[in-house]
Amino acid sequence: MELNRRKAIALGAGGAAVVAFAGSALAQAATDAAAPAADAAVNTAAAPQTEAKTVEQWIEEFTGGAEVTEGGITLTAPEIAENGNTVPIEVDAEGASEILVLATGNPTPGVTITKFGEAAGSRKIATRIRLAETQDITAIAKMDDGSFKQATSNVKVTIGGCGG
Amino acid sequence: MISKREFLQATLATTALWGLSGYGNWGRLAAQQALTQDKLLEFDSFGNVTLIHVTDIHAQLKPVYFREPEVNLGVGDAKGRPPHVTGNDFLQMFNIAPGSPDAYALTHEDFVALAGTYGRMGGLDRVATVVKAIRAERPDSILLDGGDTWQGSFTSLKTKGQDMVNVMNALGVEGMTSHWEWTFGTDRVMEIVESLPFPFLGANIFDAEWDEPAFEPYKVFEKGGVRIGVIGQAFPYMPIANPRWLFPEYSFGIREERMQEVVNELRESEGVDLVVCLSHNGFDVDYKMASRVAGIDVILTGHTHDAVPEPVLVGETIMIASGSHGKFVSRIDLDVRDGKMMGFRHKLIPIFSDVITPDADMATLIDKEREPFKAELEEVIGKTESLLYRRGNFNGTWDDLICDAIMEERDAQIALSPGVRWGTSLLPGDDIRREDIHTVTSMTYGKVYRNEMTGETLKTVMEDVADNLFNADPYYQQGGDMVRVGGISYAIDVTKPIGERISDLTVTATGEAIDPSKSYTVAGWASVNEGTEGPKIWDVVESYVRKKGTIKLEPRTTVTVTGI
């Protein structure tokens, strides 16, 4: 899947509200995507946290302890990051009302919660995130029917060299 | 591949001659007489489409010695599967007689003796003869180059790849993909691409800023009434394995979904009858991709330099691995009807340089490209009494020589040398010419750094590289071999996860364990970091060889491998 400029603008106009957590995410692309239609998007950075929430806490808070199943959500991320400081990821979950992205190996695992308005034509986000080390990225979607779907992808952050 | 009947004849001749004459010229000539150009090219034409594949030539214009790997370990599902089968196991798997021309071309067994018998392989003037012969028989053939073409020699470095561009254009390439090409930098790549009479394909090359496709993903050929879509897949780990700062505008990656999209587009919108993927993924990555992307008929695989004499089937996809350094040309005849591949016939044609007549025009062009540099190329720097080779998962003798040179010339305790798969071989008794040193070192970022590194960092570096080679999931492999080391010994368990593979790191000279908290002087080359300072690796090696005069290297036992 490619997200070109035109599609990104359409996505922004569709009414994606992005909540980026300060200190843990770049959310660069998502912000760019929303910018051309700023009035349709809500972009909120949470206050810096004194103590980072754990992965379990994030999931517990997001799902309220409900069961999370695999499938119905696609997380696209590189197998090996070309640059750990800016790793492109994309989450596509048709029928999602909210999507939570976690970088499970980062000191602050919370990356972003995206809330889709009813007018959102596509329930998809693309952004770039910073990864401290090789780790699993997890995306959880809250579906319109209240169920939760999850996808996980391992991204390797390597010092590289020696390809021949 | 030479048919059973052909190699039997060749083997009988060779075996008999060994008994009579040893490795003298008479024996060599007679052995080669059993091989003829006609026999090497013999092919029972099949179907209605012919693909010709060359890959990973690494700028080798002239015939070379290239010793295939003795150690090429497969992990996970790849264990024991081609190309992770070497030596006698390989001969048995493909029913090849020891001592035969195929055994020489495809394995390391008896390499020095057989090199004496069968001579050098490759040479793009010989490749030209083969390509012309196939085209004469099948005018609608498509010649495809899998990349790693512009880098790997003194002349390609001096001309920024232009010598290879000129020669490959003359050869009549109709599409290529890329890897080391990018190490000449974006500006140079774009300059060449604009001049090419064929497409520079890369479905997985994206604009890094906008995350949009940046190059032609495929080309559709109309040949003999058949529509053939050829997709290019560049080396996925460009910005990780090679210096990102040389081509910051682009992003690569395997991009499996993108590959599926492009295949679907070819099938649905372009209405092709056949989908070919010209790939620089590496064998194991292609093997996995073939099992996950539907609709690819043929993968012409490259990058990992494997010469596999028979197509490898993955579902309904056939994989063709055509070796490296100009040693082989693959011919693949396909029967394509009603939008389907109904059958195939394949031959990995070994380019025995003494048997195949050089194409005169190409020979002239090659000599013209080399002429301005002739004196520099051919200057004898020293001599070797030992076989010098690189290819294999761990240190080859060329690497030992390079590491020795680095440690001595740069006064370092430890040397690191990249595990690249390119670099040809020299036989005992051969002169070491300047050109030979460049053939194992030539690159645009060949400076030799020297710095302090703690034992802990050293282990981290080695674990990281080992995981790029031995990760059980091919999508996490970069395709280089293990980093070469000098001054230290270590053990490696290839089956362990990252962080647990490397153990028993010791200073070889003293047997003392490497202390994680202690600092060591480490020198190495091919750093991917921008602004690396130091002398050029080829100058360092040349200076060392000149001082030594004659190189003699005993086989080393500094790496202990387990988990095989």
Q: ipTM score here?
A: 0.80
pLDDT bin (cut points 50, 70, 90) of residue B30 is: low
pLDDT bin (cut points 50, 70, 90) of residue B479 is: confident
Taking an 8 Å cut-off on Cβ atoms, the answer to whether B244 and A134 are in contact is no
- Given a cut of 50, is residue B375 above it in pLDDT? yes
Pairing of strands B317-321, B298-301: parallel
Q: Which helix (H) or strand (E) holds B461?
A: helix B455-470
Taking an 8 Å cut-off on Cβ atoms, the answer to whether B240 and A82 are in contact is yes
CB B438 within 8 A of CB B153: yes
SS3 A143: strand
What does the pLDDT read at residue B310? Answer: 94
Residue A28, number of CB atoms within 10 A of its CB = 15
Chain segment B511-534, per-residue pLDDT in tens? 999 999 999 999 999 999 999 999
Tens-digit pLDDT string for chain A (164 aa) = 344 444 433 343 344 444 444 343 333 333 333 333 333 334 344 444 557 899 999 999 999 999 999 999 999 999 999 999 999 999 999 999 999 999 999 999 999 999 999 889 899 999 999 999 999 999 999 999 999 999 999 999 987 655 44
Chain segment A62-92, per-residue pLDDT in tens? 999 999 999 999 999 999 999 999 999 999 9
CB B358 within 8 A of CB B126: yes
| C-alpha to C-alpha distance for B467 and A78, rounded to whole angstroms | 16
What does the pLDDT read at residue B499? Answer: 94
- Given a cut of 80, is residue B496 above it in pLDDT? yes
CB A26 within 8 A of CB A89: no
Beta strands in chain A (DSSP E): 16-21, 43-46, 68-70, 74-76, 87-92, 96-103, 110-116, 124-129, 135-143, 148-155
How close A35 gets to chain B, by Cα (Å)? 15
Q: Of A41-55, B13-27, B483-497, which has the strongest mean pLDDT? A: B483-497
Q: What is the percent of chain B where pLDDT is above 90?
A: 91
Question: Residues of B with CB below 8 A from A163's CB?
Answer: 179, 235, 237-238, 240-242, 420, 468, 478-480
Rg, chain B, Cα only:
23
Instruction: Name residues whose C-beta falls within 8 Å of residue B394's C-beta, 6 or more positions apart in sequence.
Output: B71, B481, B482, B484, B559, B561
Averaged pLDDT, B284-295:
97
Of A79, A158, A163, the CB nearest to B479: A163
What does the pLDDT read at residue B554? Answer: 87
What does the pLDDT read at residue B29? Answer: 63
- Given a cut of 70, is residue B147 above it in pLDDT? yes
Chain segment B94-108, per-residue pLDDT in tens? 999 999 999 999 999
What does the pLDDT read at residue A162? Answer: 54
Average pLDDT, chain B: 93
Instruction: Name residues whose C-beta falls within 8 Å of residue A100's C-beta, 6 or more positions apart in sequence.
Output: A58, A59, A62, A112, A113, A139, A140, A141, A142
Taking an 8 Å cut-off on Cβ atoms, the answer to whether B253 and A3 are in contact is no
Question: Residues of A with CB below 8 A from B478's CB?
Answer: 80, 158, 160, 162-163
pLDDT bin (cut points 50, 70, 90) of residue B478 is: confident
Position B47, amino acid:
G
Taking an 8 Å cut-off on Cβ atoms, the answer to whether B244 and A83 are in contact is yes
* Residue the block writes with tokens 């029967």: B335
How close B98 gets to chain A, by Cα (Å)? 29
Of A2, A83, A88, the CB nearest to B258: A2
Chain segment B443-474, per-residue pLDDT in tens? 999 999 999 999 999 999 999 999 999 999 99
Chain segment B310-369, per-residue pLDDT in tens? 999 999 999 999 999 999 999 999 999 988 999 999 999 999 999 999 999 999 999 999
- Given a cut of 90, is residue B132 above it in pLDDT? yes
Chain segment B414-448, per-residue pLDDT in tens? 999 999 999 999 999 999 999 999 999 999 999 99
Rg, chain A, Cα only:
15
| C-alpha to C-alpha distance for B332 and B45, rounded to whole angstroms | 10
B379-396 core/surface letters (b: 16 or more CB in 10 A; e: else): eebbbbebbbbbbbbbbb
Q: Retrieve residue B220's tokens.
A: 């559709």
SS3 B432: strand
What does the pLDDT read at residue A9? Answer: 38
Q: Which of B146, B202, B143 is nearest to B173 (CA)?
A: B143
Mutate to test the interface with B, among A6, A9, A128, A162 (most CBs of B within 10 A): A162
Question: Residues of B with CB below 8 A from A162's CB?
Answer: 241, 418-420, 465, 468, 478, 480-481, 483, 526
**Count H helices, E strands: chain B?**
19, 25
Pairing of strands B49-54, B328-337: antiparallel
Describe the strand order of the beta sheet including B484-486 as a list of residue ranges.
Answer: B448-454, B519-525, B414-417, B484-486
| C-alpha to C-alpha distance for B439 and A21, rounded to whole angstroms | 51
Total count of residues recorded for chain A:
164
- Given a cut of 80, is residue B254 above it in pLDDT? yes
CB A27 within 8 A of CB A130: no
CB B474 within 8 A of CB B284: yes
Cα angle at B457 between B456 and B458, to 5 degrees?
90
